[in-house]
Amino acid sequence: MEELIKEINEAEREQAERGISGEAFATLWILKQEGIAIAEAEKVVGQMVGILKEYPHWHTSEKQARQIQNRLYSLLEQDKVENIPETVEKIVSVIQ
Q: Whole-prediction pTM value?
A: 0.79
* Helical (H) or strand (E) element with 54: helix 38-54
CB 24 within 8 A of CB 48: yes
Backbone angles phi, psi at 19, to 5 degrees: 65, 40
pLDDT for 54 beyond 90 = yes
Q: Tell me the C-alpha distance between 16 and 63, whole Å.
A: 32
Which of 13-27, 30-44, 51-65 has the lowest average pLDDT?
13-27
CB 39 within 8 A of CB 28: no
- Residue 53's pLDDT band, with cuts at 50, 70 and 90, is very high
Question: For residues 41 and 19, which has the higher predicted lDDT (pLDDT)?
Answer: 41
Backbone angles phi, psi at 22, to 5 degrees: -60, -40
> What does the domain layout of the chain look like in residue ranges?
22-95
